[in-house]
Structure 1
Amino acid sequence: MVTPRISYAHLLAKPNPKHVDSLLKFFESGRSQRGTGGFGVEIEHLPVHNSDDTAVTYYETNGIEALLKRLAPYYDEEKEYWENGHLVGLSRPGVAVSLEPGGQVETSIGILKKPSDLNALYSKFRREVDPILKDLDFRLVNYGYQPKSSFADVPVNPKDRYDAMTDYLGRVGQFGPCMMRCSASTQVSIDYVDEHDAIEKMRLGTVVGPILAYFFRNTPYFEGETNPWPLLRQRMWDYLDFQRTNVIPGLFDPRFGWEDYAVDVLSTPLMFADLTHTPEAVASGASPKELHRPAFRENAGDVYPDRELNPYEINHIISTHFNDVRLKNFVELRHWDSLPIERAERLTEIVASLFYVPENRERLESYFDGITEEEVFEAKANIQAHGRQASPYGQPLEFWKEFLGLEGLLSDIPGDPKHPDVFQE
């Protein structure tokens, strides 16, 4: 049996009740602002040179910063995001472009009403970005990990939080620098109508996410060599930092609710404190470095004032947790490798079918009724140990392919034309 992680955060610190209430109101705002059926999709792209497939960095001539500056006219000037004098994000209605630590270019799209809306918005992004990329002589590829470069070859972008994260994650786990600098994902976010609905979707997403991840795996390379793990990104996150990754502790206890999640998040050290939108800190005349600082041993109660938290502070606190499924004012499913758009749309269709079609949702809930945290850990370990011969939850992958509606999934969908398509078996 695989031993699940145990969170000791609750023994070390008791969260501020006002902060707990702030998160509960934040979760409630998701219920009141949305109904069912909406999606958000985030696709992270790896920038690689056309000449040799090595990683393109932020600071190099004709690198990521040059790309963002040339892409900026297509976005709202007042929504540009700068840090330390460098452009690091762009936004307009329906689409936002941001950077992950190693210069991965993330496109956030939504809120979508149906999966087919994804391709239309994404295609517009590509029509704008591709001519610029051609001039800069690099391209954006969709893999779970850089095809040629090592993490040691990729500097982090200018966001202050990433220097602190490098220091922290480089010491507490096995894959921190690899995850930050060279990995890339696809994430799908879904709505909820109330607390019960949110918790049930978090449980189901945690249960089936690793199985879907296997069928959508897209990581042929690791550190310039053939990837040795069936699900590299899952392995990286599982061994990153047990305080803030993997299965949410207690999620499968029937009594688990929003307050339990809020207490877990607020009780865990932040890694990095962002006080740029904390009025008390700004008014104190704190320097930019003091407003962005490491917080390796401090949790939210140590960093933020004794009052209700504002939405920026809440989002920052939650962003320091990287569970398989994360709750914001929506449910964020985080299992999957970066995917080409056709495959990302197919993934979104499957998520829609499983979570928004009542009979499919009821079938899932009935099948997994009484599932435990230990069984989820065992299923994840089974896939890592056995790959295509795996039997997560005691059933072979062929069973799950039919049960989850994945027939025809390994059809020929092009990825990066310069490399073999990982979807072929």
Structure 2
Amino acid sequence: MVTPRINYAHLGATVNPRHLASLVSFFEAGCKSAPGGFGVEIEHLPVRNGSDEAINYYEPQGVETLLGRLRPYYDADREYWENGRLVGLAREGISISLEPGAQVECSIGVLRTPEELETVYRAFRFEADPILDELGFRLVAYGYQPKTGFADIPVNPKSRYAAMSDYLGRVGQYGLCMMRCSASTQVSIDYHDEADAIAKLRVGTAVGPILAWFFRNTPYFEGAPNPFPLLRQRMWDSLDFQRANVIPGLYDPRFGWEDYAVDVLSTPLMFADLTHTPEAAGLSEAEKHRAAFRENAGELYPDRELNAYEINHVISTHFNDARLKNFIEFRHWDSLPLARAERLTQIIGSLFYDGRNLARLASFFEGIDELDVYEAKANIQAFGAGATPYGRSWEFWREFLGLGDLLEGIPGDPAHPDVFQI
């Protein structure tokens, strides 16, 4: 039985030891003897040809129609339905799912090299683009909808998103904007043991905002020019501090998997998901999916080991800049066109899978703490192109991270700040 290093009981937190053991075992199961794989998620904004207004799930010739037309290309036994509506598709190497505002997400992997991304992604577009042409809309890679505001976009029919709207509509500042209008690129990597996972989380959390600057891709916010140097960071940092931003305690030398598990288990879940909890079989759908403003995992789930679905739900209610699952997920970046997403994946590989580079970065950031990361992020938001995160210029970071050759000539590079790909 795993016992947390810190006793949180006096703070009112409830951490069930069986739940804690479940999460630690989940992390242990993610260890790879030879790390080197990539997972890439690219979210797309559906916009109408001509007007660039958002296309929603329900409208005629909308996103639901797109999924239905794509069905023959995917495995019949890997379709995802909710409330009688099609919400996802999958086959070997790729899955298609929906974010709350009908953003179309392609999850691709496991890739052995960044270059494999192009092959898998182009196959998706080869199938989808002729259908999109017939439907009169397209999928664009921006960080935020170019014309339509969040209030005009309904959430798709997943029950969890109604519960999430209930929560995020009352907490923080930009929750509903994030849900309905934003889109991201996320890159996941492997780890070989606990120490390796923590080192990569620390470096990824520190360097992520810097890479986000070089790969920013959000010209618009709520139908107007985007006023923020990094809109995605601004939205997430203002969303709900207890589940976003930097993992609490990450830079404490004693920090480990148990501490991460305690954090996610002791925090209110945002919304309950009891759809795969056998003990909740008799509850209504509204009771299985509802906002959870105060209940954490110990108060919602039975006193037993958590199953895989429950574990993933608990972890997925946290949106830290770098997130630990049974892999490491970096979540800093706007939605990117294919060429830039591939370059980003190459850079992640060079920084985290090259032992010398990872050691160099770990040494550079040795001794920093959470406040240093907060300061660097605030510095970027305050000064943009004139920012000096961690006291260093953008020119320093471009050279230190080896970005020069990998970014040369890519539209959207900070050298060409007004050029974005759509």
The alpha-carbon deviation at position 410 of structure 1 amounts to 5.3
Conserved? CA contact 1:43–1:339, under 8 Å: yes
Are 2:26 and 1:26 aligned? yes
Structure 1 stretch displaced more, 321-330 or 289-298: 289-298
Amino acid at match of 2:326: N
State how far apart, in whole Å, the 2-side matches of 1:116 and 1:36 are. 17
- Structure 1 residues 400, 96: CA separation in 2 closer, same or farther (over 3 Å shift)? same
User: Structure 1: how far apart are the matches of 2:187 and 2:60?
Assistant: 33
Q: How does 1:42-121 map to 2 (within 5 A)?
A: 42-121=41-120
Normalised TM-score (structure 1): 0.94
Contact 2:48 2:138 in 1 (8 A): yes
The one of 302, 311, 315 aligned to 1:314: 311
Which residues of 2 match residues 169-318 of structure 1 at below 5 A?
169-282=168-281, 285-318=282-315
Mean CA deviation greater in 364-373 or 50-59? 364-373
Worse-superposed segment, 341-350 or 400-409: 400-409
- 1:78 CA displacement: 1.1
Q: Which contiguous aligned blocks of 4+ residues in structure 1 show a shift greater than 3 angstroms?
A: 412-415
Post-superposition shift, 1:414? 8.0
Secondary structure, counterpart of 2:88 in structure 1: strand
Going from structure 1 to structure 2, the CA distance change for 1:9 and 1:83 (only over 3 Å counts) comes to farther
Give 2:5's aligned residue. Answer: none
The superposition leaves residues 270-329 of structure 1 with CA deviations (integer Å, 9 ceiling, x where unpaired) of 1111111111212xx222222222222110011111000011100011110000000000
Conserved in 1, the CA contact under 8 Å of 2:340 and 2:410? no
SS at match of 1:236: helix
2:381 equivalent to 1:381: no
- Aligned partner of residue 167 in structure 1, secondary structure: helix
- CA–CA distance in 2 between the matches of 1:396 and 1:293? 46
Please list every run of 5 or more consecutive structure 1 residues that lacks an aligned counterpart in the other structure: 1-7
Answer whether contact 1:267 1:300 (CA < 8 A) is retained: yes
**Contact 1:9–1:264 (Cα < 8 Å) also in 2:** no
- Per-residue Cα deviation, 1:145-196 (whole angstroms, up to 9, x for no partner): 0000100111111111111111211111110110000000000000000000
Partner of 1:413: 411
Offset at residue 421 of structure 1 (A):
2.6
Kindly indicate whether the alpha-carbon contact (under 8 Å) linking 2:18 and 2:304 is maintained by their aligned counterparts in 1.
Answer: yes
Deviations 1:223-268, CA, capped at 9 Å, x for gaps: 0100000000000000000110000010000000000000000011
CA contact (8 A) 1:9 1:267 kept: no
Once the two structures are TM-superposed, the CA of residue 10 in structure 1 deviates from its matched residue by 7.9
Identity percentage of aligned residues: 70
Supply the distance in 1 between the matched residues of 2:256 and 2:64 (Cα, whole angstroms). Answer: 42
* 1:395 paired residue number: 392
Cα 1:169–1:410 shift into 2, 3 Å: farther
Unaligned runs of 5+ in 2: 1-7
Report how far residue 21 of structure 1 moved.
0.2
Conservation of the 8 A alpha-carbon contact between 2:163 and 2:289: no
Corresponding residue for residue 150 of structure 1: 149
2:170 alignment partner, SS class: helix
1:362 alignment partner AA: A
- Partner amino acid, structure 2, of 1:137: G
Q: Is the 8 A contact 1:9 1:268 kept in 2?
A: no
Bigger mean CA deviation after superposition, 285-294 or 300-309: 285-294
SS class of match (2:409): coil
Give the match for residue 328 of structure 2.
331
Q: Distance in 1 between matches of 2:237 and 2:409?
A: 29
- Is residue 215–residue 412 contact of structure 2 (8 Å, CA) maintained in 1? no
Matched AA of 1:291: K
One-letter code aligned to 1:178: C
Offset, 1:372: 1.1
Does the 8 Å contact 1:342/1:413 carry over to 2? no
| TM-score between both structures, scaled by the size of structure 2 | 0.95
Question: Aligned equivalents of 2:345 and 2:81: distance in 1?
Answer: 31
CA RMSD of aligned residues (A): 1.6
State the SS of the aligned residue for 2:70.
Answer: helix
**Structure 2 letter corresponding to 1:263:** V
2: CA distance, partners of 1:10 / 1:204: 32
The CA distance in 1 between the partners of 2:330 and 2:163, in whole Å, is 25
Secondary structure, in 3 states, of the residue corresponding to 1:171? coil
Indicate conservation of the 8 Å contact 1:281/1:291, yes or no.
yes
1:140 is displaced (CA, Å) by 0.2
Alignment match, 1:3: none
**Cα distance in 1 for residues equivalent to 2:363 and 2:185:** 28
